[in-house]
């Protein structure tokens, strides 16, 4: 009897404890469901779909992960040129990805092949598309030099396949970046079963001018991607994970919430490029930098001190008047013009040729000063905000062969503003800017051009910036060449011969960074900055791409000292 009472008491206590734990739980049950509603996520029967298994952004093809941080942007050595356009200022950049090397001839000719196949120049509607993306090979010519070999061979000959592409203007570099975004995302979605397998190689067949893949079109209106071809643009069964799509796979397209679609390829900002080039991470000890760096490598000299390579140059640059590659039989820098990428040691981020070989375009519009008082986080001058154009039917309007726009550049080159299959863009208006504090216009290239004396429309004793538009009030009084096309298609070019112009700076000149094979050692300093018109090209400026990193700043916590776990 006594044992029965004890057993009953134990059962009672256990039941009381169970009820107590159930009733006093501080955390609601959300197993397989939303922490907001408790509803099940990724249910095959329908409902909210989200990639809960996403871990981190995959590293894009050809790129290196650059962990962001703070650094001193600008000249930390003596400014022997007295430019005063690179005064030191403290900046912080977010983590991002950057191309391991400069964009090569082989990479760019793949782009040319795709454009020529999808938009055949024999078609009157598309001839200016292909002509607009071809590099200017005449940049090699010189009045008193024989360089026709490079003019005819440098871009396409396999001997130069892995050399950095040149003759590309800033606009062409931006267009290449957009094309690369679409091709990489197209490949990812095909790999994951959202697009028909091997469709991307059907150039000129299933992939045509009106039926090609564009990332933003797919995200906004997936049913219109590839010209609305449902045999190519597939759906996957909800909750199917990485299962490949088939004829029976239905229900959802890939979205941003799928975590598969990568952000856009683009040119790096000046701050990103300089941060990546100087690579102060190699000088880090705990939470401080031990000294500054004059070049992307450690030390104050341009020659290697390692026994095997002692005396060799650490970059490809001009060592003196008439000395582009040293004496025959002595390796020196091993090149007279550009050199094959990865010919020299990488910096501490693993990036090659951040000094020498070719200088590189960056995104920024040039101004003589970096306005760190206005911003010290992801600094960039050149924002022009646009939005998707909405058609009369209430959905986004796509570019077609009928409404494609072309721009005639100042040098007479005709370039497509957009490609068929892309979403047409228009400037943002009051609907997006009304009562905002961080931006008020679509075009922000000339925002706060320095102090009052350097504003765009300076008037002594007037307000900080007036709305006057008279040419004589402009701070940046650059030449104004003009070009027009008559009804017969003949171009009329007019040169600005005025001797009253005071500067070459306007809203269409871009910064380029780093030294090149044509430059002296002074320009190898990552802090050096120069500018060039965005629609012109040279034989010494190339580019590499960058991509913003989404998610955490770094993959793993930093260990003490300079070691990463």
Residue 71 counted as domain residue: no
Q: What is the DSSP letter of 179?
A: H
Residue 394 counted as domain residue: yes
* Among 340, 344, 348, residue whose Cα is nearest residue 332: 344
CB 283 within 8 A of CB 82: no
The interaxial angle of helices 170-191 and 105-118, nearest 10 deg, is 80
Three-state DSSP state, 24: helix
Q: Tokens for 5?
A: 């009472």
Residue 91 counted as domain residue: no
Residues 415 and 439 in one domain: yes
CB 48 within 8 A of CB 39: yes
Residues 460 and 481 in one domain: yes
CB 393 within 8 A of CB 399: no
Residues 417 and 469 in one domain: no
Q: How does pLDDT run along the chain (565 residues), one tens digit per residue?
A: 555 555 655 555 555 555 555 555 555 555 668 889 889 888 877 788 888 888 889 999 999 999 999 999 998 777 777 778 888 999 999 999 999 999 999 999 999 999 999 999 998 889 899 999 999 999 999 999 999 999 999 999 999 999 999 999 999 999 999 999 999 999 999 999 999 998 888 777 778 888 899 999 999 999 889 888 888 998 876 554 444 444 444 568 999 988 999 999 999 999 999 999 999 887 787 888 877 888 999 888 888 777 666 668 889 999 999 999 888 887 788 899 999 999 999 999 999 999 999 999 999 999 988 989 889 999 999 999 999 999 888 889 999 888 898 988 888 888 999 899 999 999 999 999 999 999 999 999 988 875 554 454 545 555 444 444 555 556 677 888 878 776 666 778 888 888 877 788 889 999 999 999 999 999 999 999 999 999 999 999 999 999 999 998 887 665 544 444 4
Reported in sequence order, the residue ranges of 85-179 that DSSP labels E, i.e. its strands, are 89-93, 96-99
539 Cβ contact list (under 8 Å, min separation 6): 139, 140, 150, 166, 167, 337, 518
Residue 423 counted as domain residue: yes
Residues 439 and 421 in one domain: yes
Burial of 467 (0-12, 13-18, 19+ CB in 10 A): exposed
Handedness of CA 519, 521, 522, 524 (dihedral sign): positive
* Domain's final residue, options 506, 528, 554: 506
CB 86 within 8 A of CB 366: no
Residue 79 counted as domain residue: no
Q: What is the CA radius of gyration of the chain?
A: 29
Residues 462 and 428 in one domain: no
Residue 463 counted as domain residue: yes
Burial of 41 (0-12, 13-18, 19+ CB in 10 A): middle
- Counted residue by residue, the chain has a size of 565
Residue 396 counted as domain residue: yes
CB 379 within 8 A of CB 362: no
* Domain's final residue, options 423, 444, 465: 444
Residue 7 counted as domain residue: no
Instruction: Please state the domain count of the chain.
Output: 2
pTM above 0.85, yes or no: yes
**β-bridge partners, 98:** 64, 546
Residues 475 and 437 in one domain: no
Tell me the backbone φ, ψ of residue 421, rounded to 5 degrees: 100, -20
Q: How far, in Å, CA of 20 to CA of 10, rounded?
A: 15
316 Cβ contact list (under 8 Å, min separation 6): 333, 334, 335, 338, 339, 343, 344, 353, 356, 357, 517
Q: Quote the domain boundaries for residue 474.
A: 446-506
The continuous run of DSSP H or E covering 11 comes out as helix 2-24
Question: What pLDDT score does 10 carry?
Answer: 59
- Half-sphere exposure in the Cβ direction for 464 (13 Å, CA): 5
Q: How far, in Å, CA of 491 to CA of 483, rounded?
A: 7
Residues 395 and 440 in one domain: yes
* Domain's final residue, options 395, 412, 444: 444
Distances (CA, A) of 26 to 13, 18, 19, 22, 23: 21, 14, 14, 9, 9
For strand 482-485 and strand 425-427, is the pairing parallel, antiparallel, or unpaired? unpaired
Residues 428 and 453 in one domain: no
**β-bridge partners, 531:** 511
């Amino acid at each position: 009897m006594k044992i029965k009472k004890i057993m009953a008491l134990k059962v009672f206590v256990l039941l009381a404890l169970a009820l107590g734990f159930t009733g006093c739980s501080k955390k609601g049950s959300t197993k397989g469901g939303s922490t907001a509603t408790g509803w099940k996520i990724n249910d095959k029967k329908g409902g909210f779909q989200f990639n809960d298994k996403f871990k981190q952004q995959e590293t894009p093809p050809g790129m290196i992960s650059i962990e962001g941080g703070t650094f001193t942007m600008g000249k930390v050595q003596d400014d022997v040129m007295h430019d005063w356009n690179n005064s030191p200022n403290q900046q912080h950049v977010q983590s991002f990805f950057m191309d391991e090397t400069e964009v090569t001839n082989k990479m760019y000719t793949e782009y040319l092949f795709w454009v020529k196949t999808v938009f055949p120049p024999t078609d009157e509607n598309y001839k200016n598309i292909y002509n607009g993306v071809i590099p200017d090979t005449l940049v090699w010519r010189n009045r008193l030099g024989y360089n026709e070999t490079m003019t005819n061979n440098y871009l396409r000959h396999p001997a130069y396949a892995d050399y950095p592409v040149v003759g590309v203007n800033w606009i062409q570099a931006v267009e290449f970046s957009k094309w690369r975004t679409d091709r990489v995302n197209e490949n990812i979605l095909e790999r994951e079963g959202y697009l028909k397998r091997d469709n991307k190689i059907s150039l000129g067949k299933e992939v045509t001018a009106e039926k090609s893949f564009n990332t933003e079109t797919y995200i906004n209106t997936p049913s219109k991607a590839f010209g609305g071809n449902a045999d190519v643009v597939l759906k996957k069964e909800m909750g199917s994970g990485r299962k490949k799509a088939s004829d029976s796979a239905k229900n959802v397209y890939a979205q941003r919430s799928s975590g598969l679609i990568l952000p856009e390829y683009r040119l790096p900002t000046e701050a990103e490029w300089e941060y990546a080039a100087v690579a102060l991470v190699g000088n880090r000890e705990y939470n401080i930098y031990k000294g500054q760096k004059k070049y992307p490598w450690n030390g104050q000299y341009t020659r290697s001190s390692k026994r095997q390579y002692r005396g060799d140059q650490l970059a490809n640059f001009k060592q003196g008047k008439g000395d582009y590659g040293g004496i025959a039989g002595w390796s020196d820098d091993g090149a007279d013009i550009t050199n094959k990428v990865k010919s020299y040691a990488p910096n501490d981020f693993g990036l090659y040729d951040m000094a020498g070989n070719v200088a590189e375009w960056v995104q920024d519009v040039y101004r003589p000063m970096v306005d760190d008082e206005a911003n010290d986080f992801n600094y960039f001058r050149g924002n022009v905000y646009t939005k998707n154009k909405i058609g009369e039917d209430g959905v986004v309007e796509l570019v077609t062969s009928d409404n494609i726009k072309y721009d005639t550049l100042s040098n007479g080159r005709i370039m497509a503003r957009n490609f068929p299959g892309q979403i047409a863009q228009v400037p943002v208006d009051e609907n997006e800017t009304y009562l905002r504090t961080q931006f008020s216009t679509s075009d922000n290239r000339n925002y706060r051009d320095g102090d009052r004396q350097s504003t765009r429309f300076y008037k002594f004793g007037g307000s900080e910036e007036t709305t006057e538009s008279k040419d004589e009030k402009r701070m940046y009084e650059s030449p104004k060449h003009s070009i027009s096309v008559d009804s017969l298609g003949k171009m009329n070019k007019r040169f600005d011969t005025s001797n009253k112009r005071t500067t070459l700076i306007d809203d269409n000149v871009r910064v380029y960074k780093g030294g090149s094979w044509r430059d002296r050692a002074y320009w190898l300093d990552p802090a050096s900055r120069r500018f060039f018109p965005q629609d012109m090209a040279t034989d010494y400026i190339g580019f590499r791409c960058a991509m913003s990193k989404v998610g955490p700043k770094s993959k793993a916590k930093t260990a003490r000292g300079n070691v990463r776990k």
